[in-house]
Structure 1
């Protein structure tokens, strides 16, 4: 499998540059080790009069804590990496941009969503634009277009799709590799496993503590393992509480923290009734399928067994690829899932601002049946004229029509068209 030699979040470079041209403060948020610093430096290198601070450096951090206001005073672009390490800087930044409202003053990176930090003194409302950075997409790893979301809303079910050369083992291998640049570089599964172990330890000992009060690290580790085991399933804190013997309030608090530091993402339920949306149970995915696979002990050998739980892994993988594309789509698109009282489900529902939707079901098999479209047909009846198309993404080779607005497509279509 060929890997692009220069791994960086190419889709986000233009987004950050455009944001700096319009906005006083640009924040790059994302998980640890996804390339935030690399992205920020790529953008900064194309600018003039840039000053850069890395708050992982103890001496730099001490200077920032001693004089937050003086630390952020600079006439050009100021890049501050891991700004959540010294939240007091945000007050100084607020004073600076209020005094001088020129765009492109500050470029900040952080491993947690700034609005969720416990000690955040000011969220800079109306002064910032946030770019969310996920682990690398398949298109970024392999140099392919990554335009499925834009294409299906622009062209609908008549989009031309070529046959695929990938099969189920290929998709499992890609899902287990994940998208953290360091994991992608490690072709050997054992070395990649060591990276994931180290990554998990850093999350628990450092990142989570920045956003939440953690008293028992072992409980948090058990919860992360349980979340990986139910990836692409419903996020029900009460069930996790019973299974793990933890208080439901503890589970909820830890879930919130894990979402803030980009370990998990809760996908809300879709309904054409906004009140129903607000109270329905969300679906949970792991931000990185490689970490999820590692936590569940999945391997290529194990995945070859007929009873191996490959379906949730590939569903998590596909939904993650769709979520990545939403960050650079040409128009605002929201991601949901669908489930009704009769048990009809659709793994992913994409909705544009006008209300039109596209449904996507994920199948781990190399064949597809008419019954695989059951949930999509129910969604189409529920949405009426707002339903543009329904797709079953499967591990086979051929794009196939399955009736009005329904198509079966190879999974790799997501990053190749």
Structure 2
């Protein structure tokens, strides 16, 4: 999906930053379009660019500055170059978010978020219901399609990861690669971003607790307490706070913010984010979830009364998909929850151009009943025409529209 977005933007904009976690395909995507390539992870090239950034920037465009954050002056040099000449298609940057203290690239450098592959991008399904079409549906557009995937298939796909470089792996080799990915975050990536992890075991325990909280609004204090369960000494907030900041900049944490409507007629909305890792497979690996344990309903969870850990992972997979598809519109993705927990909607997708909304509930089930759609009906009463469609994403076999207008769509059939 990011290829289509990049092909639209590059002919019109001077500088684009492909921002996302390691191994998500940023460099491979940019290399397909670059005329000049500077790999700043390689010391000799980094030394040349650091000594004279203008030499790098004046090369044949588009100029790719891969892992740009390795040479901090590059970001500001690109920003200044765009101020002087805003001709389109000049620069591509790849990496994560700018480190603390960097000047904003707003208005000069456009950020495009790159995430792991969705199910259609992996080639395991064909999208038959587009997010764009739902914005034009008004609860009446036909919704149809049949998916061959069932609950066990979705479980396998969660565990298989959407990271492009891991698509050929399965079983023990895949687990080893995921473990290595997580180890590099703790032992190398955090330090390269400027955060010295003095106790790697403490950070890994915090990550495991965070992984258990995916698709919930569990407070940071509860995550911290769970990470130190059985220990008389809990890590201080001054320790765990930087974890959140750094892991967010590295795009390992990919929380969904709470929806705060501009008209603010909905009262008592929580402002707590809903937790997600960059890839649900990382969460599953951190807590030691297996295919067998997930399918029998086992696994750590902060919300035992609300469902299973597999349900949390399925919602995380659905959230990843919706975020990717929303990039093409473009639209923002958030969640809605009253602070009492009495009303909640898993995903609110709000189109940038007109604030129109499509709302999603995510259910680990093949069939949908009134309990599954009651919050969507409530939201429709609150928002009126601003809510242009409402959808339940399921593990079921068929897409259809209920008599009440709510669309039911297997996750595998959803696309951009």
Shorter chain as normaliser: what TM range? 0.7 to 0.9
Is the 1:351–1:358 contact (alpha carbons within 8 Å) kept by the matching residues of 2?
yes
Q: What count of residue pairs does the alignment treat as equivalent?
A: 394
The match for 1:43 among 24, 33, 40 is 33
* Larger deviation, residues 333-342 vs 193-202: 333-342
Structure 2 counterpart of 1:130: 111
* Larger deviation, residues 402-411 vs 25-34: 402-411
Is the 1:151–1:159 contact (alpha carbons within 8 Å) kept by the matching residues of 2?
no
RMSD of Structure 2 on Structure 1 (CA) = 2.4
1:346 aligns with 2:327: no
The match for 2:188 among 206, 217, 226 is 206
Deviations 1:246-287 (A, max 9, x none): 223432321121111111122122244566799711111112
Structure 2 counterpart of 1:266: 255
TM superposition outliers: structure 1 runs of 4+ over 6 Å: 275-279
Is the 1:17–1:43 contact (alpha carbons within 8 Å) kept by the matching residues of 2?
no
Structure 1 counterpart of 2:368: 368
Pair 160,386 (structure 1): closer, same or farther in 2 beyond 3 Å = same
Is the 1:370–1:402 contact (alpha carbons within 8 Å) kept by the matching residues of 2?
no
Deviation of the 1:154 alpha carbon: 2.0
The match for 2:3 among 3, 8, 13 is 13
Is the 2:33–2:62 contact (alpha carbons within 8 Å) kept by the matching residues of 1?
no
The match for 2:296 among 261, 281, 305 is 305
Equivalents in 2 of 1:374, 1:124: separation in Å?
43
Deviation of the 1:374 alpha carbon: 2.2
Is the 2:79–2:109 contact (alpha carbons within 8 Å) kept by the matching residues of 1?
no
Structure 2 counterpart of 1:152: 134
Equivalents in 2 of 1:178, 1:277: separation in Å?
36
Structure 2 counterpart of 1:64: 49
The match for 1:295 among 253, 275, 286 is 286
Equivalents in 2 of 1:306, 1:278: separation in Å?
31
Is the 2:326–2:349 contact (alpha carbons within 8 Å) kept by the matching residues of 1?
no
Q: For structure 2, which runs of at least 5 residues remain unmatched after alignment?
A: 228-233, 300-308
Is the 1:344–1:374 contact (alpha carbons within 8 Å) kept by the matching residues of 2?
no
Higher helix share: 1
Q: For structure 1, which runs of at least 5 residues remain unmatched after alignment?
A: 1-10, 45-49
1:107 aligns with 2:102: no
